Structure 1
Amino acid sequence: MTRSATGPAPAAPLPSPKERRRLREARALSEEQVAAAVGVTPATVRAWETGRTSPRGPRRTAYARLIGCDEHRPAPPPSVEATGSSTMSPTEPGTGTTPDTPTPGKPFLHTPTPKAPVLGVPAQDVPAQDVPTQGGSAPRTTAPDAHDPAPQPRPALTAEEAYDALYGRTAPGLTRQMYLLTGRRKLAREAVEHAFRIAWQRWPEVARDRDPAGWVRAASYEYAMSPWHRLRRTHRRPDALPEDPARRALLDALLGLPPVYRRTLLLHDGVGLGLPETAAETEASTPATASRLLNARAAVAERLPGTVESTEPGGRPALHDRLGALAVAEEVPEPPPAPAVRAGSERIAELWTRAALCFGVLLIGTTAFTLYTAPTQYEQPLAPAERVGGVLPRGGPEKPTPQDLKLQKSLRGELTHGPERLVPRIP
């Protein structure tokens, strides 16, 4: 597919529907305000943010400019004449952007991550190389050196290498987050391992995601907060609280919050996500997330005064450092190696595949046996003739007796309307 250098300019790219809503709420715009500015109804704006439809023409440009998409719009790709190539990079489904194009929000997996502590676990840098995707995009090359006339392209990471890099960067911090969320060490390790198993089974989807670490984190939180764990004997009660009084009080106050408040507080004040990102990950609106965050902070501050307020004006809350210190001080089981998690994921997928095949073969065999043994047409059964005995004779009215005949005759001789009326006589 070729693109002419003199052709019409491409339309403004739009992010995913969830990202459109996040950008609108980040600018404190309501659906009615966006609809009035673009010239449509609020129902149309709601349809744009749910993915049912997309804006077109001038409204698309106005909508992108209004929510701030044009600020992050990447530079147009070079023309065919300038590059000498006629192949276009695959676009990410649903977003209209290429996998290597940074979009507003969270970074890609191949984007170098700053070394910022997350709950006391320093994040490791991932090599700035492409993740193999299902679309088969070509690997990116490093920046050309002025002293090297022919720079060699860096080889792309294989799926196993990219998965291991993601696992080594996020698994330790996620395990500590799950411990603060549940208070159970075994469940924390189990939730992280379960999330990474699912991520390996859906690796093409996870690799193309804008934030693979966020994808795994959301899966871990959903598994850890499942109410079905209460039915398991090993997870009915949380582990023993820390011996240190300060850490014990903080963890007790955190576990005393409702699960939704606890997750919101941990994502915003512990992990350091913004309010729109926290709302998107918890699948709630920004006002609802802000209300949950305020209520959670108030509950923690009521039990532990001076824990939530920031030590510096405009700085991050002191609860961030307290949660990080609590996560680092506690002994959390180390996650299993990445190859073991990948092998377990493949083994579970193989078992489910075999079970599905066995069930299908059993269903086909049962259906074939039923069709083979079933009669081709319905035949009404005929019962053999038998003599029926012991039946009473047919009954009827009996012959009247002489007394009945006398009574009948006397009744016929009387008046129709009854006996005569007795008239009193005057003496």
Structure 2
Amino acid sequence: MTGNVETTSSSASELGLPAPEERRRLREAANLTHEQVAEAVGVTATTVRSWETGRTDPRGRNREAYAAFLTALAAPATAPEQADTTSDGPAGTTSEAGTPRTAQTAAADAPAAPAEDSAGVPAEAPARGPAADFDALYDHAAPALARQTYLLTGRRTLALKAVERAFTRAWARWPEVATDPDPVGWVRAVAYDYALSPWHRFRRAHRRQDARPADPADRILLDAVLALPKRHRRTVMLYDGVGLDLPDTAAETEASTPTAGIRLVHAHADLADRIPELAEVPPEKQSALLRDLFTALRPAAPLAPRPAAAVRGAGERRVRLWSRGALGLTAVIATATGYTAVTAADHYEPPQAPGQSVSGVPPLSGPQQLTARSRQLHDKLRADPEAGPARIAPKSE
């Protein structure tokens, strides 16, 4: 891949990241494996190896997390008396397992300072529940995700519905989402799949086009993105809009890294043909320009997701309806099974054998008609005076 797909290491150094060799040296000096670094940053071990070899560089939120992690590795170790972790402690703290943590991780893992009551006795801080964690995730990711799904579909109602459907499913499977290394990516994948589903074209509401953006530049951008194939559209949104690097983009689109790179090159070429502003910049700056254009786009109607509490309530109501439906269906099946068991036969009755045709038997046609000779004999026997029982009686001589 060339400069239009990946950022060079020199530009990465200018933006705050050390050279790839220094990244590897810092990791080895801290006795960390690729898997430990990947778990701390929230990516895969393959991505960390790619960063250390210089094939790719982190982008977006991954870049910020990786830069903070390397800064923590490069910072000198704190003295034992200063190693106590607090909510506002240094960025280079160390976890119980001995792995350095970033400033964000240390602040998240550190217990909050307990408040004191009027008597000066520390009061225990209330523990956050699953609902509060879900609301925090929703407030953080829902607005940006609504904009991304709108750029993928060009339909405001469908974009908001995709976001709500994704978070509803996340709340139904919250233990799995809460322990996922990238909960935002989990929700984003579900929202993208629903928004790009081919079944939406059979809906009646899908036949009507949404109102177009008021700015002509926004209309050109939206039309250019919607003209791309769905796979290219999703790849561009993840790489340029979200800021994922190429391996993570390939993993989320279920494609190999070379395939994702080829899709990205073709998508950039198609967009440059339709967007004059994009065609005027060099290839290595197209990603940054696209991200700025995506951020500046203003839909015709505001994209305002519903509050998190409403989404949670809708998800819980849906779960209750499905549970009641499942119980009702189970009751119907049990009733039908009991009725069948009561009314079914309790012994075996062999079926009657089917009839068989017999050959050689003359058909039943009734009494035969007498011939002239037979009629004469019949009349003679009836006219004989010796007819009857006396005929066979012996005569005395």
Q: TM-score, normalised by structure 1?
A: 0.57
- Aligned AA (2:227): G
- Aligned AA (1:277): D
| CA 1:330–1:154: 2 relative to 1, 3 Å | farther
- Aligned AA (2:321): L
Quote the Cα distance in structure 1 between the aligned partners of 2:208 and 2:177. 33
| CA 1:314–1:11: 2 relative to 1, 3 Å | closer
| CA 1:288–1:238: 2 relative to 1, 3 Å | farther
| 1:27-47 CA distance string (max 9 Å, x none) | 6799xxxxxxxxxxxxxxxxx
Instruction: Determine helix, strand or coil for the equivalent of 1:345.
Output: helix
Quote the Cα distance in structure 2 between the aligned partners of 1:297 and 1:316. 8
Aligned match of 1:272 in 214, 221, 243? Answer: 243
Match of 2:182 in 1: 211
Matches within 5 A, 1:9-408: 19-24=44-49, 26=51, 129=108, 140-142=110-112, 154-307=125-278, 317-326=288-297, 328=298, 330-380=300-350, 392-393=362-363
| 1:208-246 CA distance string (max 9 Å, x none) | 111211111111111100000011010234413223322
Aligned residue pair count? 288
| CA 1:365–1:102: 2 relative to 1, 3 Å | farther
Checking the alignment, whether the CA contact within 8 Å between 1:265 and 1:293 is kept in structure 2 is yes
Checking the alignment, whether the CA contact within 8 Å between 1:179 and 1:332 is kept in structure 2 is no
Q: CA deviation at 1:21?
A: 4.0
Quote the Cα distance in structure 2 between the aligned partners of 1:191 and 1:323. 19
Quote the Cα distance in structure 1 between the aligned partners of 2:281 and 2:123. 50
| 1:280-310 CA distance string (max 9 Å, x none) | 2212111111111111000000122331665
Instruction: Determine helix, strand or coil for the equivalent of 1:307.
Output: helix
- Aligned AA (1:235): H
Instruction: Determine helix, strand or coil for the equivalent of 1:186.
Output: helix
- Relative contact order, higher structure (CA 8 A, sep 6+): 2
Q: CA deviation at 1:25?
A: 5.1
Q: CA deviation at 1:196?
A: 0.7
| 1:111-141 CA distance string (max 9 Å, x none) | 59xxxxxxxxxxxxxxx657xxxxxxxxx41
Quote the Cα distance in structure 2 between the aligned partners of 1:365 and 1:103. 59
| 1:311-345 CA distance string (max 9 Å, x none) | 8977952111111111x454334111111110100
Instruction: Determine helix, strand or coil for the equivalent of 2:131.
Output: helix
Match of 2:117 in 1: none
Kindly name which structure, 1 or 2, has the bigger radius of gyration based on alpha carbons: 2
| CA 1:293–1:20: 2 relative to 1, 3 Å | same
Q: TM-score, normalised by structure 2?
A: 0.61
Quote the Cα distance in structure 2 between the aligned partners of 1:239 and 1:312. 32
| 1:155-189 CA distance string (max 9 Å, x none) | 43211111111111111111111111100010011
Instruction: Determine helix, strand or coil for the equivalent of 1:378.
Output: coil
What percent of counterpart residues are identical?
A: 48
Structure 2: state its 5+ residue gaps. 1-30, 56-71, 74-83, 85-94, 115-119, 365-397
Quote the Cα distance in structure 2 between the aligned partners of 1:153 and 1:310. 56
Checking the alignment, whether the CA contact within 8 Å between 1:129 and 1:156 is kept in structure 2 is no
Instruction: Determine helix, strand or coil for the equivalent of 1:141.
Output: coil
Quote the Cα distance in structure 2 between the aligned partners of 1:347 and 1:169. 24
| 1:67-97 CA distance string (max 9 Å, x none) | xxxx99xxxxxxxxxx9xxxxxxxxxxxxx9
| CA 1:312–1:278: 2 relative to 1, 3 Å | closer
Match of 1:39 in 2: none
Quote the Cα distance in structure 2 between the aligned partners of 1:246 and 1:216. 30
| CA 1:309–1:374: 2 relative to 1, 3 Å | farther
Quote the Cα distance in structure 2 between the aligned partners of 1:196 and 1:261. 25
